[in-house]
Each structure stands twice: as structure tokens, then as C-alpha cells.
Amino acid sequence: MESLNITFNTAVKYTEHFDMKNQIIELQRLLTAIPAINPESGGKGEWEKANALTDYLRDNGFPEPVHHDTPDPRVPEGTRPNITVRLEGKKRKPCIWVMTHIDIVPPGEKVDSDHWKGWNTNPYKLHVEGDLMFGRGVEDNQHSLVASVIAAQRLLNSNSRPPNDVALLFVSAEETGSEYGLKYLLDEHEDMFSKDDIIIAPDGGNEDGSMIEVAEKSVLWLNFHIEGKQTHASTPQFGSNSFLAMSEMVMELHRQLHDSFTDQHDIYRPSYSTFEPTRHDRNVPNANTISGEENFSFDCRVIPSHPLDEVIEKIHAIAGQIDKRYETKTGIEIENRLDAPPPTAHDAPAVKLLLEALKNCRGIKGRPLGLGGSTVAALFREKGYPAVVWSTIKGVAHQVNEHASISNISADADIYEYIFRNGSV
């Protein structure tokens, strides 16, 4: 990979007049004021917010946005917006993509017209306190959306043509599985992308921006339903204690799964597979009845060298052992299964370009790492696109009092501008 004969400091001089702090705040204020909640969460979708963003882009000299909208009869408009703006470079390919999502999660329980439980301020009215901005969506995913837009805007203001095409992609439905967003684009408009493209999907990150996510563990969520026989607590011989069966099953699953699937890889945090009990439903309401029915859940994050089919087979074997011991019957439902796609290589152009940008702009050494959770980049990797996840964030997505740092957004915009100006040629 070569770079343009232009240093980052030289690039900055073109845009010294650009009031980045106020631009960040005002764009965040615009986007935060418009809920963009998925129908699955009781919302009307993303169109109002998408239209406001499109107006902003037009008003600030961006090329005309291109739509690849997804049919969805559940929302008033009948579609969900997926929008691309593309800045023409000296070469069309490979294109540099930054993909962010427009939708947000609900802020939680509403107390009255201006207050939500746990929030210190109205989540739909941007509140600025020093370097921090508070509101639903300001980090997830408006932090990176704003940073990418500001970087592209600075490039436009400088009248500099980048070495490669630069494309900003704004998608819907990321918070509910991307069925009406990236999945649709990859299935119906895959010709948008090339396997040589540089794709950044800033769906995660860390506080100093050093983490470049290139791999994910496989994910398995399981729901267990144990049927026993209810009886009075004084006559356990007449029942089958599903609570005892559940208690032992939880402990045996935790112990045997960790003992059976022991592969480790330093790229992941943590470096091993995890098998954790999570949800447990309420059983009998009184203290002197033996429960005849139990429900609980398990979350498994598995190093990809262990096939999930083998994990599932082991889980059924353990449940069978416990059922035999307690004369119970266990049903197991797979709520969610994601087999990890192949990781993005450490020497992929997107990784190398980010490592270069972090070194030259911040003087830090980036680290290609893997996550226990699943990000939207997995959808790209499943199709063979070497995408990476990166941003400099607080890690407060989906929390009450969600907030984002103005200085971090500004610093991320610097990284994006460096990448746009120094792309693969």
C-alpha cells in the first residue's frame, strides 16, 4: 500500500477555518431530536431522521444521495432507508467505505412528557456538558456517523480529490439484526461492493481507539425448559424437583462445557470460550411447594475452532444425564445462533490503513483484536469482504445517560480524513 505524497498536517491546513466542534454539536443535536426506532421496538422506522440527514448533506455540498431502500409494510412509508453518498476519487476502485446506522434503541421507561426513568436529561434533547454530549444515540451510532460526515465535509471544503472513491453508507435496522439494512444490501445489491474495497463498520471500539476489531466468536443463546412434577415440599418422594434438576444442570453445563471446549486464542478478549447462565424465570410463588417447571437461559461465546454443532451435541448430552437422575424432561430451544465467519486478515488493506492512521495521527500502536460479541461487520465477512470495526468510544451504548465525547469524535474525524486522503492507490 502506498500513500499520497501529502502529510496529515498538510491536509489539515486546508480546513483550519472549519468550526468542527460546533458542527459536531449541531449535527448531533439535529439527529438526537428525531427518534429512529425499529417497528420491533414500537417505533416508526428511520425515515424522518434519514430525511433530516439527507437535507444536511445536500446543504453542505455533498453529492446527491443514492437510495437502496428495503420494503417493509410495517412502517408508514412502506420502506426502510439505506443511503449512500459517494465522493469521486482519482480511482473508482477500491472504494473506501464507512458504514454507520441510523436507527437507535428506545431510551427506556417514560415517566412523563420530558423525563425517562434513570435519565438526568431528556434523551431526545441534546445536552452538552463540557466535552460530553448526552442523548439517546449520541454514541450508538451517531458518534461515528458524525465523525465520518465531518471528515468527508472537510475533504469537500478543501476541493481536494481523494485517491480513491469515498462512500458513506447509512443503513437501517442494525439494532434488530439488519434484515432491512445491510443484510438486504448484501443480498439484493451486492454489486455495490468489491472484495478489494476498504470497509470500516464502526459498530464498536474502545476508549483510546487502539482496538481494530477483526474477528468474532461464534454466538449461541439457548433457552431450557425443564418439566418435572410439582408436589408438596414435605413429600418430595411424590414429585420430580425441577428446581434441583435446573440447579445441577446449570453447574454441570458451566463446568463440562468449559472443560470440553478449551481452545484459546490471544486475539480474543477473553481468550477462551465462555458459557454463562443468564435469565431465570420465576417458578412457584410459595416456599412450601416443590417446583415442577423451570426455565433458564445460557449465553455461549465460542472460539471458532470449536464447531457449534459439537457444543450443542454436548449440551444435549449433559441435559440427558440430569434428566435421568431427576426424572425430568428438558426441552432446549436455540434463540440465536451465529457461526463466526472467517476473520479479517491482519494484513488486510483496511487494517494496515487504520494502523498507519493511528500511528501518524495519534502516535499510538493499533491492535487487531477479536470480540466475544457479534457486530454488523460479521455480515460483510460472511460474504468475503474483509471489514473492520473501529472507533474511539466510551462504551455506553444502550445505557441511560448515553453520552459521547466531542474531542473523541473530532479525533475520529481526523483519522477518517487521513484515510480518505491516503487511501490505497
Active-site residues: which are they?
103, 174
Cα torsion 89, 92, 98, 100 to 10°: value is 110
Q: Which ranges of 126-170 does DSSP label H, i.e. alpha helix?
A: 142-157
- Phi then psi for residue 402, to 5 deg, are -55, 140
* Residue in the structure block whose three cell numbers are 496529515: 8
CA 17, chain centre distance (Å): 34
Nearest to 305 by CA among 268, 254, 346: 268
Q: Would you say 156 and 85 are in contact if contact means Cβ atoms under 8 Å apart?
A: no
Taking the CA atoms of the chain, what radius of gyration do you get in angstroms?
Answer: 24
What CA–CA distance (Å, rounded) separates 418 from 250? 50
Q: Would you say 87 and 107 are in contact if contact means Cβ atoms under 8 Å apart?
A: no
CA 269, chain centre distance (Å): 16
Instruction: Fill in the amino acid letter for 188.
Output: E
Angstrom CA distances, 165 to 86, 109, 155, 391, 403, stand at: 7, 43, 12, 21, 32
Q: How many CA atoms lie within 13 A of 409 on its CB side?
A: 29
What CA–CA distance (Å, rounded) separates 236 from 326? 11
Nearest to 161 by CA among 247, 22, 63: 63
Nearest to 107 by CA among 74, 140, 72, 129: 140
* Residue in the structure block whose three cell numbers are 470460550: 273
The β-bridge partners of 218 are: 302
Instruction: Fill in the amino acid letter for 319.
Output: A
| Burial (0-12, 13-18, 19+ Cβ within 10 Å), 352 | middle
Q: Would you say 422 and 3 are in contact if contact means Cβ atoms under 8 Å apart?
A: yes
Q: Would you say 306 and 261 are in contact if contact means Cβ atoms under 8 Å apart?
A: yes
